[in-house]
């Protein structure tokens, strides 16, 4: 009897532990507000993605163009394309690396985020994670690397403050097919369901990136999916890439988030996290964005009013006699909106 009770008790704790494990490993984009309950880092203050507000960027002339090593050479082995229930992911060989950062970063994988029924308006139907001045793009590509100078693998690196570097590529739509992205999209039919994977021929991965790797935004952030570790040095390129509307439609409709055995299929769509508060973080730009030197309507109106005031003052000034003119001096206040020296982003 005692042994029976002991066995029952052990079974209870085992099942309870299994339930807790499943709860911690399972998440969806519909319960984003609940992520932090199972994954505490998701409630951190340095979360990603963010809205890149170009008028608030700090230009850092020391930021050099991103250097990708090995990307342009097709690998000796096929890439593995998989559906993990949250996104479509493609493995990358260890010979793909990033240089120009404080450490050497080795590529691990790339994946996509998208929405549904994109109409090009930049609204909620778009699926990019990062936004620029509040505008969402059609989709987004992330290329994930880990700090191979300091850590043996991505599993160890991902939870370390300086562990990861991710390239973000914003995707828009046009009329013409993008042949580089078709190297991936044409195989989506083989990974329709979660847990499926297929080998695909290797190709020039550099062709997935923008032409200009010298114009980008950089900030410290996190993984955009659980466990949301705040370990990512983000590089989001200013130049966007374009795929055809047909290609995007294929990405939006080809995949399901459930396994093939499930009786009900759930389309894999809207797999993007909403933008997170910046919380005093500094976002650097490797170039001078137009909006930094562009005047807002309010500033233009204020400048126009100042001009009118000055014209009136000059007219009044000319009406005074010469003695009064000699005693009169115009004084101008310093520009109250003069920018301070930009702080540096911690690598």
d(CA 83, CA 192): 7
Q: Which of 108, 110, 111, 109 is nearest to 151 (CA)?
A: 108
Residue 86 catalytic? yes
d(CA 147, CA 164): 6
How far apart, in Å, are the Cα atoms of 312 and each of 307, 308, 309, 315?
9, 6, 5, 5
- For 297, other C-beta atoms within 10 Å of its C-beta total 7
Give the active site residue among 72, 76, 86, 111.
86
| 8 Å CB contact between 232 and 221 | yes
Contacts of 71 (CB under 8 A, 6+ apart): 96, 204, 205, 206, 209
Angle at 82 between CA 268 and CA 196, to 5 degrees: 80
Q: What residues are annotated to the active site?
A: 86
């Amino acid at each position: 009897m005692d042994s029976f009770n002991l066995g029952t008790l052990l079974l209870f704790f085992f099942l309870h532990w299994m339930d807790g494990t499943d709860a911690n490993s399972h998440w969806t984009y519909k319960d984003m507000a609940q992520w932090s309950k199972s994954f505490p880092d998701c409630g951190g203050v340095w979360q990603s993605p963010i809205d890149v507000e170009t008028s608030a960027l700090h230009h850092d002339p020391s930021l050099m163009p991103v250097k990708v090593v090995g990307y342009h050479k097709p690998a000796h082995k096929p890439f593995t394309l998989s559906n993990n229930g949250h996104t479509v992911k493609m493995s990358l060989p260890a010979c793909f690396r990033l240089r120009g950062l404080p450490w050497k970063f080795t590529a691990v994988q790339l994946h996509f985020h998208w929405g549904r029924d994109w109409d090009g308006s930049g609204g909620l139907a778009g699926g990019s994670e990062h936004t620029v001045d509040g505008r969402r793009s059609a989709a987004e590509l992330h290329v994930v690397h880990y700090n191979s100078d300091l850590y043996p693998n991505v599993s160890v690196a991902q939870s370390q403050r300086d562990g990861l570097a991710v390239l973000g590529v914003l995707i828009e739509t046009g009329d013409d097919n993008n042949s580089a992205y078709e190297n991936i999209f044409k195989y989506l039919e083989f990974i329709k369901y979660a847990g499926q994977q297929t080998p695909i021929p290797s190709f020039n991965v550099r062709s997935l990136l923008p032409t200009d790797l010298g114009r980008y935004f950089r900030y410290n952030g996190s993984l955009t999916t659980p466990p949301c570790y705040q370990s990512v040095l983000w590089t989001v390129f200013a130049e966007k890439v374009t795929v055809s509307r047909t290609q995007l439609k294929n990405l939006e409709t080809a995949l399901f988030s459930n396994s093939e055995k499930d009786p009900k299929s759930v389309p894999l769509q809207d797999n993007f996290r909403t933008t997170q508060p910046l919380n005093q973080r500094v976002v650097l730009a490797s170039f001078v964005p137009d909006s930094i030197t562009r005047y807002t309507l309010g500033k233009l109106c204020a400048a126009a009013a100042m001009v009118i005031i000055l014209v009136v003052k000059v007219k009044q000034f000319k009406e005074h006699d010469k003695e009064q003119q000699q005693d009169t001096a115009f004084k101008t206040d310093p520009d109250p909106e003069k920018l301070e020296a930009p702080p540096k982003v911690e690598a």
